[in-house]
Amino acid sequence: MPPYKTGLLKRKLSDESKEIEDNNSKSDEDVGLIRGELDAENDSTDSEHDDDDNAASDTERDEILFHDNADSLLSDEANESLAESSDLTDSEGDDESEDAESSDDEDGDSNSDEDKPEKVKETKPTTKAESEDSGAESGTGPTLSGSSDGSKKKKERKVIKKKEFKQKPTKTKAVQKSNDSIDALANKIKETNVTIQPVQEKDEYESGDTSDEEERVNTAGAVPSWWYDEYEHVGYDVEGRRIARPPRRDRIDEFLRKCEDPEFWRTVRDPGTGQDIILSKQDLELIARIREGRVPNPEHDEYQPWVEWFSREVLATPLRAFPEHKRSFLPSREEQRHVSRIVHALKMGWMKTRKQIAEERKKNKEHKFYDLWGSSAGVGEGEGTRGVQRHVPAPRRAPPGHAESYNPPPEYLLDAKEMKEWNKLQQTPWKRKYTFLPQRHGALREVAAYERFTRERFLRCLDLYLAPRAIKMRLTISPEDLVPKLPSPRDLQPFPTTEVLKFTGHTDLVRSIDFDPSGQYVVSGSDDGTVKIWETSSGRCLRTLALGCAVSRVAWTPAAGLSLLAAAAGTRLLLLNPGAGVGAHRVAQRTDDLLADPPPARDVVMDERTAACVQWEAADAAQWARGVRVVVTHFKPLLHLSWHARGDYLAATVEDGGARGVLVHQLSRRRSQLPFRRAPGRLQCAVFHPHRPLLFVATQRVVRVYDLVKQELVRKLLAGAQWISSLALHPAGDNLLVASYDRKCMWFDLELSSKPYQTLRLHGGAVRAVAFHPRYPLFASAGDDRYIVVSHGMVYNDLLQNPLLVPLKQLRAPEPRGELCVLDVRFHPAQPWLLAAAADHSLRLYA
């Protein structure tokens, strides 16, 4: 017998005597109570409690019961587990019944069922004895109990439950019985009291010898117990002997035992050996502790004083011999990173705390309601304009006029003629003057109801309803925005702004002007047959060269080492040396020396075609004295002259020359060339490119660019003008300005296209002359209107940047004479000054 069993027995015995007394008293009371049968079990138990205050065992039991109750009430699981293990209970029940039978069998003198307590008391020792005999039959309990705590616990609980449930009916039964034989019971109790002693002794005796009991172990292993259902044994012990199946008890036996055995509630059957084990108080405590989730050992102190071994206080004698690792006092970088990542995620809203998630979930679960009658969906601001996003008010009706008055002035009333017309338009009432007939009433109250009121109001409503109304989107672009952003003229200084000097002396129209390369002198050619040379700074005419016929064109040679100017007078091209008073003496002398002797005749080879139109001749003495050095006579009057930048070639354009319209004269060899075989059109002028062998030939509508080396047409620039008047090349050579008689100036970017880059309509009349400044980004155009327009024309070295053209200043030209106003313009080579040949026979210098 295990020690806890002995302990159990001891207590049982010590308690029993008291209990029996209690039972007696109980039964007495119950007699009284039985009248009120309706009293619930609780009441009875309560009454028990009241009575058994003194009884320690009862209080204990109550405690346990209370626990059981609490358990059973709190957790359904316990009930479920009960249901699950019902077969077990059944089997137990069977076992018990068998037990009872077996006991019956074994003890032949088993008493009647009524004397159960007695019998139990009697059988107890026998069973003990039996157990001694056949230890193999029931002795597996303790060993198996260790196998699984949970199952054991369940069983225990279940058992206790059963007890609880069963005890109550027993009580009631007992009460019923007590009616029959209280006396008999009392006797029995006395007997049992008597019989207790030997049991106690037996227990004491057996408690010492427990070694056998412990060895009664079922060696069947973890096999289902039903495997042994058909056998008489339940397994084998260590020696291989069969362990006899304990006697099965049926329900009635169980019930009886429950009624009689006060220890029934703490009796469990060991399924391995089929032995009944009465749990001791320690066991129960143990079970209670386990059930509460506490440490099973009651000695274990859960609330021991905490010894803080690892604290910040430095121990005098450290626990460890080695110094603290660095990582123990450095915050973990990894953790920090992780935390910061989480914090960042929280901050950014990528991650949510549980609380937030819960709130969201809660919010999602909430019902959402539309504000059906609120403002239109999505637009919070448009209060009061539900449905109509952009309300368009209905067009107003015209206010009523005089004719609609009830008492219109007589002129609004229709007279006979108008009335006739009114009637005539009976079929086409919309053609009438009024939609109604103006009528006169003496007072407003005499006005009859307007019979068409309803209909007209309806039509009006229909109009409003059916007429599509839309907001007219007005384009709010101010004209200033469309004008391109141009720099202010103030920032583009210097440019000529005022007239500073007037050169007077000519007696007829000045057709052409030019500066000498240094800008010290000005040459002008006039219709009065003279070429005049002026000093720029003072306007002093230094020299007048009479050429005999109207001078159409003058051009100073661009070569610095020559003092030579070309003048076109009628059909003659005259090369003049302005002479000693003008420019450098040495240069003039050298020029004279150069031109004095004509080159050898073998160099001058001209084909017949050319020779037919040009005739070179040296000047005679009289002409030499007048400054003329070389005379080139053409077949037609000259129109335009232009020097090549190096000063050796001179392109001359003759009027109506056809294919021979452009001639290129070479000065050093005194010969001419006709570059074209076919007439390109009506020629206006021909200009050399500043540094490439290109010749720009302007016909009436088109500017053609010829390569003089390859003798081919390179480009054809479509000016888009009716009649080109003149041409100016940018000093860098990539841009071209074309003036036309139809008031336009066209800027061509030769790199860009053959169409004008920009067409400048700056003039009110024909544009006769354009000029580029050789140094400043300036160009000027002038013509038959009263203004000379100076513009900024910046050409960038960057090919991606288009030229910037900004009109800067309208310079007031002198009064026009007839149709003409300004005939030629030219910029000073170095200063931002502009010289204009005005129609009033003067030259004007603007600075």
Interface residues with other proteins (CB under 8 A) are 493-494, 497-498, 500-501, 518-520, 535, 537-540, 542, 580-581, 583-586, 830-831, 833, 847
Please choose, from the candidates 737, 680, 684, 685, the residue with its C-alpha nearest in 3D space to the C-alpha of residue 712: 680
Minimum distance from residue 535 beta carbon to other proteins (Å): 8
Residues 6 or more apart whose CB falls under 8 angstroms from that of 439 comprise: 406, 408, 413
- Using a 10 angstrom Cβ sphere, with 0-12 exposed, 13-18 middle and 19 or more buried, the burial of residue 679 is middle
Of 405 and 497, CB closest to other proteins: 497
Of 556 and 833, CB closest to other proteins: 833
Of 495 and 706, CB closest to other proteins: 495
Minimum distance from residue 536 beta carbon to other proteins (Å): 10
Of 193 and 538, CB closest to other proteins: 538
Residues 6 or more apart whose CB falls under 8 angstroms from that of 686 comprise: 640, 642, 651, 652, 653, 662, 695, 696, 697, 698
CA–CA gap between residue 244 and residue 232 (Å, rounded): 6
Of 342 and 560, CB closest to other proteins: 560
Of 107 and 535, CB closest to other proteins: 535
Instruction: Please check whether residue 233 is in contact with residue 243, taking contact to mean a CB–CB distance below 8 angstroms.
Output: yes
Minimum distance from residue 504 beta carbon to other proteins (Å): 11
| Torsional sign, CA 768, 770, 771, 776 | positive
Neighbours of 243 (CB within 10 A): 28
Residues 6 or more apart whose CB falls under 8 angstroms from that of 768 comprise: 725, 726, 739, 741, 782, 783, 784, 820, 822, 823, 824
Minimum distance from residue 769 beta carbon to other proteins (Å): 22
CA–CA gap between residue 67 and residue 694 (Å, rounded): 121
Peptide bond into 494 cis (omega under 30): yes
Minimum distance from residue 776 beta carbon to other proteins (Å): 12
The H or E element containing residue 665 is strand 662-666
Between helix 41-51 and helix 149-208 the angle, nearest 10°, is 40
Residue 154 in tokens: 């369940």
Minimum distance from residue 826 beta carbon to other proteins (Å): 17
Minimum distance from residue 724 beta carbon to other proteins (Å): 34
Residue 820 in tokens: 């003409």
Minimum distance from residue 593 beta carbon to other proteins (Å): 17
Kindly provide the b/e burial profile for residues 433-465, where b requires at least 16 CB atoms within 10 angstroms of the residue's own CB.
Answer: eeeeebeeeeeeeeeeeeeeeeeeeeeeeeeee
Residue 294 in tokens: 């506490």
Residue 757 in tokens: 């880059």
Of 590 and 669, CB closest to other proteins: 590
Of 175 and 588, CB closest to other proteins: 588
Residue 334 in tokens: 């990894």
Please choose, from the candidates 275, 266, 280, 286, the residue with its C-alpha nearest in 3D space to the C-alpha of residue 142: 275
Provide long-range contacts, Cβ within 8 A and 24+ apart, for 205-209.
206/1, 206/6, 206/128, 206/132, 207/1, 207/3, 207/6
Of 513 and 541, CB closest to other proteins: 541
Minimum distance from residue 840 beta carbon to other proteins (Å): 18
Of 247 and 539, CB closest to other proteins: 539
The CA radius of gyration of the chain, in Å to the nearest whole number, is 69
Residue 827 in tokens: 């910029």
CA–CA gap between residue 113 and residue 115 (Å, rounded): 5
To which residue do tokens 């003092």 refer?
A: 563
Instruction: Please check whether residue 773 is in contact with residue 832, taking contact to mean a CB–CB distance below 8 angstroms.
Output: yes
Of 563 and 725, CB closest to other proteins: 563
Of 594 and 847, CB closest to other proteins: 847
The identity of residue 50, as a single letter, is D
Minimum distance from residue 584 beta carbon to other proteins (Å): 5
- Using a 10 angstrom Cβ sphere, with 0-12 exposed, 13-18 middle and 19 or more buried, the burial of residue 412 is middle
Minimum distance from residue 541 beta carbon to other proteins (Å): 10
Of 124 and 506, CB closest to other proteins: 506
Minimum distance from residue 845 beta carbon to other proteins (Å): 9
Minimum distance from residue 544 beta carbon to other proteins (Å): 14
Of 300 and 540, CB closest to other proteins: 540
Residue 19 in tokens: 């209990």
Minimum distance from residue 594 beta carbon to other proteins (Å): 18
Minimum distance from residue 785 beta carbon to other proteins (Å): 24
Neighbours of 229 (CB within 10 A): 11
To which residue do tokens 């009291």 refer?
A: 193
Minimum distance from residue 829 beta carbon to other proteins (Å): 10
Of 179 and 538, CB closest to other proteins: 538
Residues 6 or more apart whose CB falls under 8 angstroms from that of 53 comprise: 59
Of 439 and 497, CB closest to other proteins: 497
Instruction: Please check whether residue 453 is in contact with residue 436, taking contact to mean a CB–CB distance below 8 angstroms.
Output: no
The number of residues in the chain equals 847
